[in-house]
Structure 1
Amino acid sequence: MRLSTRLLSLLGGARGRDAEAVERLLAGAIDDATRRWPGVSLEPETFVAWVAARVPAGSEPVEEALAKLRLAELFLACACAAGSAAAIAAFDAEFIARDRRTSDDEKQVIRQKLFLAHGDTPARIARYGGRGELGGWVRTVAARVAIDSARPAREQPTDDDLLDALSVDPGHSPGLAQLKQDARQIVQAALNGAITGLPARDRMLLLQYHLDGVGVVELGRLFNVAPSTISRNLARIRGLLLAQVRRSLMSHHKLWGDELERLLEFAQSQLSVGGVIDRS
């Protein structure tokens, strides 16, 4: 089926004065997008349906309405919303990664907001209507993220939220209930210090995984790496945390032997890594 026929059918079929003009605009947009972002592909029917949902209501001919839309950029947005790793990588390289006005932490929040759905709410990239430049639209999203970052810390997910998510809870293990309160506090303080000493990127990854509940598949899509790479990074970070906790317990609290190993076991249970961490 011709692209114009499909679009006009989705729009009710009565608004197009020049089907050939509509066909040229749609086909040209696909050609422009594939030249601009090589490797990004999308079923034409999916793209046409995406465009149809964004043609403004009114009496103007379809070809005039289409001429006012950034069709090639709608193509990229549609591919991103469909979960295309190539599209998300291309989008990130052009509109996010090279933006010097936002910090690395803010860029990661932008990626999460744009490309991850939340329950029944679609990913924010689906809100792009194509009426302005995609780069300008992304800058608006980035500005909102920056404003949110400037709000009081209690309104935003922070390192404290991560510490809470990884807090030592005596209910997590039968053995923890046998510990004295001061022992739990010792482990928590060591863990808190270890988390605070992590690089910002590692803390952000832990925040997204433990606090936001973002899975390794979605995180892999955000970082443009395989889910197995995310799993390895999480294991590496947790290994660093446990090693730092060990050093803290030994140097600041002069613990060793069975007492040290028992506290480390409790710390490890909070990091939920089972046997992944090397405790040697």
Structure 2
Amino acid sequence: MKKHTSSYLWKVSALGITLLALLTGCDRRYLVFNPSGPVAQKEFDLIVLSAVLCAAVVIPVLILLFYIVYRYRDKPGNKAPYTPEWNDSKILEIVWWGIPVIIICILGVYTAKTTYSLVKPPVTDVKPITIQVTSLDWKWLFQYPDQKIATVNYAEIPAGVPVQFQLTSDSMMNSFWVPELGGQEYTMPGMAMRLWLQADKPGTYFGSGANFTGRGFAHMKFKVVAKPQAEFNQWAKQIKKSAPALTQERYDLLTKKGLAEKQSFSSYPESLFHNTIDRNGGKYMKPEMKHGGHDMSMMDHDK
């Protein structure tokens, strides 16, 4: 019996170590726990606060559980008083209801404060840039209104500069996510969502669609490359000079279901992003809602 128990415990331990190794990898980092910008840092701090507050409840409860099981176990010579009429304790009721209420209030205040702070640029002493993002089946289109260029399945941004991502979809709903720079935001047909992100230093950051969208969902990955402002400007100029134009015909091909390689374009049809919103908005809105369904003026990054 003892040999069987030891073998079972050894197998469970080995399985736990194997799962931990698979989850962590040799040099792999948890991307959410590696904040590389002010937005991601605020969200990381909120995760830490939530974990600490949860631990403040869970750890004492587990300690009390083991203590009560041990202290009040039935044993020979037990002389504990028999009190069948006992049914409550006001002090205990206040403790186990009051502490969670206080914790929820603290977490709620900090969550609301952090959430509202993320609707503004992370820093105010640097001029932000805007990137318009359209999710397709199964690829990502990035448009740069200021530089008049576009890319597919990759984006480059200047390090240390706030970036306002304006998000929509020309197919089914998806979710735009760059874990090391901040939380995710949905892309929805007929709507324009906004997400502020910023990379503190040059680097390459993993991005992905985080909403299941069918067969090619697993391939909806992209890279966000942050580089110094001068290098970013040089990259934009190079794209402008050497890449082909994104015509309406090319865009129509991109909207078809299928995978795509990284691409760059020196120009794109005027108001392509806004027209995509209007066209898809007409599909899902009632006739009386088609006008005024979204306020594009609110999407101006300098307002």
**If the TM-score is normalised by the length of the shorter chain, which range does it land in?**
under 0.3
- Per the normalisation by structure 1, the TM-score is 0.21
Identify, as 1 or 2, the structure richer in strand.
2
- Per the normalisation by structure 2, the TM-score is 0.20
Larger-Rg structure: 2
Per chain length, whose mean CA-contact separation is higher, i.e. which structure has more relative contact order (CA < 8 Å, sep 6+)? 2
